[in-house]
């Protein structure tokens, strides 16, 4: 996916958000924002993939802030919130159509994201909100096609919180005889899941193998990815790509078949997919 002019204020707002998470020192926050402005000035260029710009801007902000993980606490909070809601989600999945519902639940889990423009990070996600989102269902539903491709899944995880809900989909994939290679970020970036959360949540026991993207790039940067990940992507019977950042990168490569599971939380991703904002999407591309 390519950068749109509207990505600029959104990225800058996220830099400012993480600066506030990281420090109360307004002067330092401002330095991070000014560094973000400088990155935008240099790299908001035509045709560049959106994630190139976002990787650059966040790395620069982290460097200025002297903080390798401004989302530390937010990630913990997201996981705790998701764990509390997991029994409700599990019941919902168990009632009927369990594979489709597990896909839906894993997409709704993406609502635990923080810092996307217009998303209210202070609003606690309660039972009612989550049930409303479950009831909405999938707006794009290729889950039946996914079911026949589960033999050897590479699962590109996204945020903390969300990854707790992903476990219900891991269970469904395994029930249907599939093997799972879970891929998390190689180092902290935004509120994305890393090996730390894999260990804390015992996710390694719920999948067959865990790999990382090899770096803290937004989404997946092939140049920074370990060879075993590149190999796994090439051999997968299905890549499951969770969330917008993974879409933004994976849509630049040609790995197939791939299932994009995400909520279209911004105009730019929605437009790139030919969809509207705020849709629950499970789309397979072969």
User: For residue 246, which phi and psi values (nearest 5 degrees)?
Assistant: -65, -40
Q: Which stretch binds a second copy (CB under 8 A): 23-31, 125-133, 153-161, 219-227?
A: 23-31
- Residue 280, beta-bridge partner list: 263
- Residue 99 to residues 19, 56, 122, 236, Cα–Cα distance (Å): 39, 37, 31, 19
Q: Which stretch binds a second copy (CB under 8 A): 2-10, 77-85, 150-158, 187-195?
A: 2-10
Q: Which of residues 111-150 bind a second copy (CB under 8 A)?
A: 117-118, 120
Query: Residue 5, interface with a second copy (CB under 8 A)?
Result: yes
Own/partner contacts of 92-97, CB < 8 Å, gap of 24 or more, are 92/131, 92/134, 93/168, 93/172
Nearest approach, Cβ of residue 40 and a second copy (Å): 5
> Which residue has 């509120």 as its token pair?
191
174/277 with CB nearer a second copy: 277
* Alpha helices (H) along 148-190: 162-175
91/120 with CB nearer a second copy: 120
Query: Residue 64, interface with a second copy (CB under 8 A)?
Result: no
As a whole number of angstroms, the distance between CA 245 and CA 50 comes to 9
193/266 with CB nearer a second copy: 266
Q: Please, what's the b/e burial string for 220-255 (b: 16 or more CB within 10 A of its CB; e: otherwise)?
A: bbbeebeeebeebbeebebbbbbbbbbbbbbbbeeb
- Residue 113, beta-bridge partner list: none
DSSP state of 114: -
Member of 1, 15, 22, 283 binding a second copy (CB under 8 A): 15
Nearest approach, Cβ of residue 243 and a second copy (Å): 21
Nearest approach, Cβ of residue 172 and a second copy (Å): 35
Query: Residue 4, interface with a second copy (CB under 8 A)?
Result: yes
Query: Residue 10, interface with a second copy (CB under 8 A)?
Result: yes
40/229 with CB nearer a second copy: 40
Nearest approach, Cβ of residue 6 and a second copy (Å): 5
As a whole number of angstroms, the distance between CA 229 and CA 2 comes to 24
27/96 with CB nearer a second copy: 27
Residues contributing to the site for a second copy (CB under 8 A): 4-6, 8-10, 12-13, 15-16, 19-20, 26-27, 29-30, 32-34, 37-38, 40-41, 44, 46, 117-118, 120
């Amino acid at each position: 996916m390519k950068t749109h002019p509207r990505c600029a204020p959104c990225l800058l707002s996220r830099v400012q958000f993480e600066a506030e998470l990281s420090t109360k020192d307004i002067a330092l926050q401002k330095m991070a924002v000014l560094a973000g402005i400088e990155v935008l000035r240099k790299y908001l260029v035509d045709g560049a993939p959106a994630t190139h710009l976002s990787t650059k801007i966040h790395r620069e902000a982290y460097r200025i802030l002297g903080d390798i993980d401004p989302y530390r606490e937010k990630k913990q909070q997201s996981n705790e919130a998701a764990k509390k809601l997991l029994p409700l989600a599990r019941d919902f999945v168990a009632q009927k159509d369990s594979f489709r519902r597990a896909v839906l639940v894993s997409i709704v889990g993406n609502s635990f994201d923080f810092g996307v423009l217009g998303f209210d990070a202070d609003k606690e996600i309660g039972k009612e909100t989550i049930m409303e989102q479950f009831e909405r269902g999938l707006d794009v539903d290729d889950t039946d096609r996914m079911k026949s491709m589960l033999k050897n899944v590479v699962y590109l995880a996204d945020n903390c919180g969300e990854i707790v809900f992903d476990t219900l989909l891991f269970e469904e994939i395994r029930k249907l005889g599939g093997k799972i290679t879970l891929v998390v970020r190689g180092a902290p970036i935004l509120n994305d899941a890393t090996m730390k959360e894999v260990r804390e949540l015992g996710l390694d026991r719920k999948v067959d193998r865990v790999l990382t993207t090899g770096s803290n790039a937004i989404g997946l940067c092939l140049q920074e990815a370990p060879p075993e990940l590149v190999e796994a992507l090439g051999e997968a019977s299905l890549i499951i790509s969770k969330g917008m950042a993974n879409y933004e990168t994976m849509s630049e490569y040609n790995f197939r078949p791939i299932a994009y599971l995400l909520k279209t939380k911004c105009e730019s991703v929605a437009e790139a997919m030919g969809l509207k904002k705020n849709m629950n999407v499970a789309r397979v591309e072969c």
